[in-house]
Homo-oligomer: A and B are copies of this chain.
Amino acid sequence: MAQPLRVGMVGYAFMGAAHSQAWRTVNHVYDLPSPVQMQVVSGRSAPAVAAAARRFGWSDHTTDWRTLLTRDDVDLIDICSPGDTHADIAIAALSAGKHVLCEKPLANSVDEARRMVAAAEAAKTSGVRAMCGFNYRRVPAVTLMRDLIAAGRLGTIRHVRACYLQDWIVDPEFPLVWRLRKEVAGSGALGDIGAHIVDLTQFVTGRLVTEVSALAETFVRSRPLPSASAGLSALSAGGVVERGEVTVDDAVLFLARLGDQVVATYEATRFATGRKNGLRVEINGSLGTLVFDVERMNELQFYDLDRPVEEQGFTRILVTEPSHPYMAAWWPPGHTIGYEHTFTHQAHDLVRAIAAGVDPTPSFADALQVQLVLDAVSRSAETSSWVTVESAIVDPVEERV
């Protein structure tokens, strides 16, 4: 009988809910070598974490994530807490011999990320695995994009055009939540959503961002403080709304080069009115083009220059066929899946990698590479100059050569 994989999760907000849904579902959709067990969830507030355990289906709960390190019934620690906690938890967990899944961005700084990579490298020698949760790699349409590019269907890549557009803080009275505070979140749109498009484009093209020229902007520089307790915004005693300083970027835009002769524009913003989750990527190559938009995540647009010219056009592929990545396990063609299953697919791949004794991807080193790009972007925006991105890993395409 297969050994179960027993999970302890840290954090129970948006990401905690999404990961829980994935852990709960993955056993029932895929044939896994190890059944997943949702053992324990950790969070700072005792009543809240108890409620989360009940709601999300975790057998146990705790207010101290450190207890997970020594529990025999936890094989993997899933880190869904804010970025400033990632390094401590991940390094402790790996040292304790627990596999780790860590939400993106890997860390709030390159230094932290480097220490996490070192910890992952050390742990690997004893078969302990580490993975960073760039969930959008596991959208079937994105995986298909990667497969088509890897098969040479776009020829030589020329252009990358990536943006991640949201609008949830357009209202200047939206409160100063933790994602708008640098000491907790590390950065604003850059680390939260910019990280996704950096990872996604590096993943699908197999090329690394090598230099950047960036511009960052904070449009609304102060916001109402959220109340200490629970509400979204707070009135002071006298009825005056207290405001605090926004210390992260609202938007960041950058030009980039990937490898040799690929040129790119990137943009991450929380001020694109009407764009709710507008992660869009277009890749132009000498033989074709691929376009993806996560608001229509079951679709991929493919322009194939290898067709008769009269019949060329953007083909809207509905990525719901059994032969599409991850889709054999789901519903009949045309019956779409939702955002949450990017996490289900991620869980699937992680469980199989652990069982097979191989490293899951993206590795912590892959995530450090993203962090190095984010760091270069920050420095470029501060200095108004082009900044070269340090390389932590080998460019996958160059490696092949």
Contact = CB atoms under 8 A, between A and B. Distances in A.
Contact of A14 (B165, B287, B331, B334): B331
B265 A286 contact: no
Contacts of A386: 384-385
Given A28-B21, A28-B24, A276 B338 contact: no
A397 to B, nearest CB: 17
A230 interface: no
A84 to B, nearest CB: 21
Interface residues of A, number: 92
Contacts of A134: none
Contact of A313 (B20, B265, B315, B340): B315
Classify the secondary structure of A's interface with B.
mixed
Interface in A330-349: 331-341
B323 A317 contact: no
Given A251-B263, A323-B310, A334 B273 contact: no
A278 interface: yes
A251 B323 CA distance: 27
A328 to B, nearest CB: 12
Contacts of A385: 384-386
A309 interface: yes
A263 B214 CA distance: 11
Contact of A159 (B214, B251, B302, B321): B251
A340 to B, nearest CB: 7
A324 B310 contact: yes
A203 interface: no
Given A158-B219, A163-B161, A314-B315, A335 B339 contact: yes
A399 interface: no
Contact of A334 (B20, B161, B278, B340): B278
Interface of A: 14, 18, 20-21, 24-25, 27-29, 55-57, 144, 154, 158-159, 161, 163, 165-168, 170, 172, 213-215, 217, 219, 251, 253-255, 257, 261, 263-265, 267, 269, 271-278, 282, 284-289, 294-298, 302-305, 309-318, 320-321, 323-324, 331-341, 384-386
12 contacts: A24-B24, A158-B271, A159-B267, A159-B271, A271-B284, A273-B305, A274-B312, A277-B335, A302-B311, A310-B323, A331-B338, A338-B340
